[in-house]
Amino acid sequence: MKKYLLLLTMGMVMILGSCSRPGKEIAQAMLNSTKDNTSIGVAKFYSEAGGKIKMDLELNFPERADSTVAVHFHEYGDCGNMGENTHGHWNPTNEPHGKWGSAAYHSGDIGNIKLDGKGHATLSVTTDRWSVMPNDVKNIIGRGIIVHGGTDDYTTQPTGNSGPRVGCGVIEEVK
């Protein structure tokens, strides 16, 4: 009897543990060119173990083939006025601009992405610096994602001297 009870308990733990569903898509942003509003990519966000969020970013931007572009989260999810309505970088921790993973950086300092000869690139980031919880200072829902036309020098404050805003998307919750 104890053997069956142990098996039943283990089975319930496995079932209940799977309810948190790490890897479940929780948000996404469709990225469009600021020039002509054509699709240039997508960012998908997934819940991960330990309260972390994973972003899988895919760019398909032939106009920028064989170049490196910078990507940042911006304060507002409004891509109007060629992406300028997103305002400045999203920086809930009030840190200096920098390279992701360095001593100090904005929570939206995603960094530089090298596009191949067809304008394709992917990047994955997993962090506990983001949230989708309402009223949480780390909440990414409603933030803008900007693709800049240049590279981030990781030094110039507060933007990294990343160039014009050539792509934009808004992070929206997936229900």
What value does the mean pLDDT of the chain take?
A: 89
Task: Specify the pTM.
Answer: 0.86
Asked whether residue 55 is domain-assigned, the answer is yes
Asked whether residue 5 is domain-assigned, the answer is no
Asked whether residue 60 is domain-assigned, the answer is yes
Asked whether residue 112 is domain-assigned, the answer is yes
pLDDT digits (tens, 9 = 90+) for 121-165: 999 999 999 999 999 999 999 999 999 999 999 999 998 999 999
- What's the domain range around 43? 21-173
End-to-end C-alpha distance for the chain, whole angstroms? 42
pLDDT for residue 175: 86
Phi (first) and psi of residue 165, to 5 degrees: -90, 105
Total structural domains within the chain: 1
User: Can you list the residues of the chain whose pLDDT is less than 70?
Assistant: 1-22
Asked whether residue 14 is domain-assigned, the answer is no
CATH classification at residue 89: 2.60.40.200
